[in-house]
Amino acid sequence: MRLKGVAASPGVGLGRILLYREPDLNFDKVVFSGVENEKKRLNAAVAKFKEEIALLAAAAEKRSGASQAAILTGQVAMISDPYMISRAEELIAKGQVAEAAAAEVAQGFEDMFNALEDEKTRQRATDIGDLKKRLLGILLGVKRLEWSEIADDAVLVALDLPASVISSLPMDKVLAFATEQGGLTSHGAIMARSLGVPAVTGLIGLMGQELKDGQPIVVDGSSGEIILDPSPEESRDYVSRRQAWREDQASLKIYLKKVAVDKDGTRRLLGSNIGGLADARQAQEFGSDGVGLFRTEFLFLDRATLPTEEEQTRIYAEVASLFPESEVIIRTLDVGGDKQPVAFDMAKEENPYLGLRGIRYYQVRPDILKTQLRALSRGAAQYGNIKIMLPLVISLEEVTFVKALFKEVVAELASEGLPHAEEMPLGIMVETPAAALIIDLLATVSDFFSVGTNDLTQYTLIADRGNPQVNHLCDPFHPALLRSLKGVIGEARKAQTPIGLCGEIGGDPRMLPLLMGFGLSKFSVNPASLARVRRDMSSWSLAEATDLAEEILTLPTVESVKARLKKALDQRGKTS
């Protein structure tokens, strides 16, 4: 039987199923022992939680780097949020046992994040669910699973695999992961990629199958497919595919720290898209040319209170310190749509994607933007490599509004005697058709541009990428979007305004030569994609890329575009 899911971590794993079973965390029979005693139990469990996570994080850092350890320590930050503890203590004061209080508070956050459509945002729900289960296990005295009996050909199959579970595994024995839940940006998937373990997530209905420990299974993390009880022919086929993948991975090693150059030897900047310090550290480990996009909304989503100016200043400065010789582009808060932090109490809208989101929210809450601009200016004081980028711009007036507010901020910081940057480059995300059509005008008030292909695609094609009924229409290889990209890049170059691209499509080997042919020389992708993009980039000369791009622009349909690109890549020995 074959099941299709999300290709979360490339490679092929052939082995036997090891089912991961959640421990029994039922607390119905726990007896309330008094308010003060229940609070003591809660705080003791929180302290034990932090201790366990610290040990797992240390092991993760030793095994796969600081960025993976930071995924775990992020749970410590969550549980340290004063709101979570105080809210749980309030429930205890009303007569709930520590287990019920902790579960109710965590569940509230878990439900909130699960309701959001953005995959990376929903990952917070998995992290909080992991936190809840570990904390309940400590309170209940449930023994954590031991992995000493794992066979050497284990393929771990589960409903979901949180980061803390993966960190406790003997990775010399686990060949692959397969989970019913999770996605490409889930922390389990990120850790799998970091460890080089094939993984498929989002396998709907997986746990509804009659699975047994020891059952043969194939996990193809490159195609997003698994095979239960493969035939001898299928097994032989996937043994060959596994060998091919291993050879491909070996070829990437030489690109881990290389600079990005094309076939002509021309230098091209290749930065990283990040959501916080963990991603930034991973980007540094993989030799990134700075940060092409720091999504700061993730600093606001994990909490019930707004991050302070001091907290933001510290984080921005630390990211800047990781790339002292490269630019760090930090996007100001982008809320609305599917990103609605609980601390904001945003009003419900009929169509939030076309409502009060992105830069429009600053008119309603300029205080939030002002605090962030203060933190950005202060964070840039030492290194001076931070650039500010604005989301969802459609007009010159929006940019000039932020510029005026930044001048106020600088004057305030100077009067307070705080170290800060007097001037900072200010650019915009080109992610709306309006911005694409007036790029020449926006160039008069912008220091740089960065194309955000996710939103530009869905707004250009009028298709919600989060809606399963129409997301198949949200295809970046649509001729309309390709013409838009060509026009935007051309107009920016004509205006002599630097332009890059921070959409993940920039890492697609099919799109890469088109963007190069359109004249793009700055890219920003997921840190885990850096080595592969460097390799793919080195196979194209500017002349080859330009010829292909010009030909592609003459094609009338998505299908014809993809077919021609597949042919071009196949001729170079690559797969799409």
Active site amino acids: 187, 502
For residues 182 and 134, what is the distance between their CA atoms, to the nearest angstrom? 19
List, in order, residues 6 or more apart from 445 with CB less than 8 Å away. 396, 399, 400, 403
DSSP state of 353: G
Q: Rounded to the nearest 10 degrees, what angle do helices 66-79 and 82-93 cross at?
A: 40
For residues 288 and 406, what is the distance between their CA atoms, to the nearest angstrom? 29
What is the length of the chain?
Answer: 576
List, in order, residues 6 or more apart from 12 with CB less than 8 Å away. 176, 198, 218, 219, 220, 221, 222, 238, 241, 242, 245
For residues 533 and 370, what is the distance between their CA atoms, to the nearest angstrom? 37
Q: For residue 335, give both structure tokens.
A: 């809320």
Compute φ and ψ for 449, nearest 5 degrees.
-125, 155
For residues 14 and 217, what is the distance between their CA atoms, to the nearest angstrom? 6
List, in order, residues 6 or more apart from 170 with CB less than 8 Å away. 147, 148, 150
Compute φ and ψ for 224, nearest 5 degrees.
80, 30
For residue 540, the number of C-alpha atoms closer than 13 Å in the C-beta half-sphere is 28
List, in order, residues 6 or more apart from 165 with CB less than 8 Å away. 20, 130, 158
Strands (E), 133-195: 154-158, 174-179
Nearest Cα to Cα of residue 289 among 517, 449, 452, 521 = 521
CA 490, 491, 495, 500 torsion: positive or negative? negative
User: What's the helix, strand, coil split of the chain in %, to 5?
Assistant: 50, 15, 35
Give the CA-trace dihedral at 463, 468, 473, 474, to 10 degrees: 60
For residues 74 and 81, what is the distance between their CA atoms, to the nearest angstrom? 11
Long-range contacts formed by 554-558: CB under 8 A, 24+ apart = 555/479, 556/479, 557/479, 558/475, 558/477, 558/478, 558/479
Give the CA-trace dihedral at 146, 76, 162, 468, to 10 degrees: 170
Compute φ and ψ for 522, nearest 5 degrees.
-125, 125
